[in-house]
């Protein structure tokens, strides 16, 4: 039975490209591995897949009991494919915080505090002296450019930078030109409904006893989202009511200005006020210099919740 390699729900470019690339590495090592995905491909990822002419992983919303699974780009249960608890998790390759990891048996874990899972995977190829095919190099590069927002995110490390430069050579692309085109393809609201905007690139988190959803949309101009703020917060109320969240936050991240407007609905607003030391009695706060959910949004919320 083929081992499934899968990224998180509501997959981003790293989750898709890391799954494809890690399955390719496993195959190059003589193992039977298949990339799968547990969600729709976003526009940015589709641009990368089309550009390098790679098929999307097979869509699977659930894994069967006993299925061997490798998780890439996540480890938190709430972000994982359904059925994982009854499947056999054998390995994790990731660059996120550990959010309550429990496994039935011992497993392989490869995590590093770098900007992108695909950086770790590129280095695994090189450490094993396995050549990275051109199309896989292109996908790994795409993921690094996406996760680090063209190196601008504070999560970006020298290791991401070095890997991206080498991958761009293998993929034979002009790094900046390609990355800008890819980010542009994924940026903005397009034809999304307010509810879809509220759930863009969303991930569930627990902050203390509060269930929260933190979404992120990248834009070249925040006005196109902020002009719809009333409709978006109304959609957030619906999502809270239906899915049992206490709080929904949408990071509207301006990739040119390198700042985020955090639009939110729910309670306690004091959690947001404490975390970001701002008046959060409205439905939006401006956070200059903030681009990373993982480094600049989740940690202050976790800290603030611990003091509740």
Q: How far is the CB of 228 from Mn ion (least distance, A)?
A: 27
Q: How far is the CB of 277 from Mn ion (least distance, A)?
A: 28
Cβ distance to Mn ion smaller for residue 113 or 282? 113
> Which of 62, 15, 38, 39 is closest to 196 using CA atoms?
39
> How many residues in total does the chain contain?
308
State which residue, 14 or 261, has the beta carbon closest to Mn ion: 14
CB of 120 vs Mn ion, minimal distance in Å:
10
How big is the CA angle at 246 (ends 242 and 247), to the nearest 5 degrees? 105
Please give the radius of gyration of the chain, using alpha carbons only, rounded to the nearest integer. 19
* Closest CB to Mn ion among residues 118, 222: 118
Structure letter (DSSP) for residue 151: T
- Distance in Å, CB of 72 to Mn ion, minimum: 9
Alpha-carbon distances of 4 from 7, 55, 70, 171, 281, rounded to whole Å: 10, 16, 6, 26, 45
Distance CA 212, CA 206 (A): 6
Reference 181, options 147, 133, 142; nearest CA is 142
Residue of this chain nearest to Mn ion (CB atom): 14
CA nearest to 51, candidates 131, 132, 135: 135
Nearer to Mn ion, 114 or 248 (CB): 114
Residue number, 38 or 304, with CB nearest to Mn ion: 38
Q: In what order do the strands lie in the sheet with 3-6?
A: 58-59, 33-37, 3-6, 68-72, 88-94, 108-111
Q: Which is nearer to Mn ion, 199 or 293 (CB)?
A: 293
- Both tokens of 271, joined, read 């959690």
CB of 201 to Mn ion, least distance (A): 11
Report the run of H or E that residue 28 belongs to, with start and end.
Answer: helix 13-28
Q: Which is nearer to Mn ion, 203 or 285 (CB)?
A: 203
Nearest CB to Mn ion, comparing residues 47 and 276: 47
Q: Which residues bind Mn ion (CB under 5 A)?
A: 14, 73, 117, 147
Least Cβ distance, residue 137 to Mn ion (angstroms): 17
CA atoms 73, 79, 82, 85: torsion sign = positive
Tell me how far, at minimum, the Cβ of 114 lies from Mn ion, in Å.
9
Taking the complex as a whole, the smallest distance from the CB of residue 251 to Mn ion amounts, in Å, to 15
Please say which residue, 119 or 233, places its beta carbon nearer to Mn ion: 119
CB of 287 to Mn ion, least distance (A): 21
Which residue, 40, 44, 10, is CA-closest to 213?
A: 10
* Strand order across the beta sheet in which 247-254 lies: 203-207, 210-219, 247-254, 259-266, 284-288
């Amino acid at each position: 039975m083929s081992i499934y390699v899968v990224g998180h729900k509501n997959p981003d470019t790293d989750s898709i490209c890391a799954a494809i690339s890690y399955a390719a590495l496993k195959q190059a090592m003589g193992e039977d591995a298949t990339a799968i995905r547990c969600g729709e491909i976003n526009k940015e990822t589709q641009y990368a897949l089309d550009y390098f002419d790679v098929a999307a992983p097979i869509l699977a919303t659930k894994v069967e009991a006993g299925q061997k699974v490798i998780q890439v780009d996540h480890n938190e249960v709430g972000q994982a494919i359904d059925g994982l608890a009854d499947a056999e998790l054998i390995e994790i390759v990731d660059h996120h915080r550990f959010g309550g990891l429990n496994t039935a048996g011992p497993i392989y874990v490869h995590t590093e505090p770098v900007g992108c899972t695909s950086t770790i995977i590129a280095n695994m190829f090189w450490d094993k002296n396995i050549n990275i095919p051109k199309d896989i190099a292109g996908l790994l590069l795409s993921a690094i450019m996406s996760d680090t927002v063209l190196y601008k995110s504070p999560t970006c490390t020298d290791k991401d930078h070095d890997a991206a430069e080498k991958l761009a050579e293998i993929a034979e692309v002009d790094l900046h030109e390609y990355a800008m085109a890819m980010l542009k393809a994924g940026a903005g609201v397009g034809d999304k409904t307010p509810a879809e905007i509220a759930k863009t690139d969303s991930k569930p988190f627990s902050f203390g006893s509060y269930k929260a959803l933190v979404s992120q949309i990248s834009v070249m101009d925040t006005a196109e989202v902020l002009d719809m703020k009333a409709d978006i917060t109304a959609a957030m109320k619906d999502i809270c009511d239906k899915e049992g969240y206490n709080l929904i936050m949408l990071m509207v991240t301006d990739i040119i200005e390198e700042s985020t407007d955090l639009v939110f609905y729910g309670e306690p607003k004091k959690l947001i006020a404490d975390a970001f030391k701002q008046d959060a009695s409205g439905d939006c706060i401006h956070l200059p210099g903030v681009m990373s959910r993982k480094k600049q949004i989740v940690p202050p919320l976790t800290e603030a919740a611990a003091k509740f």
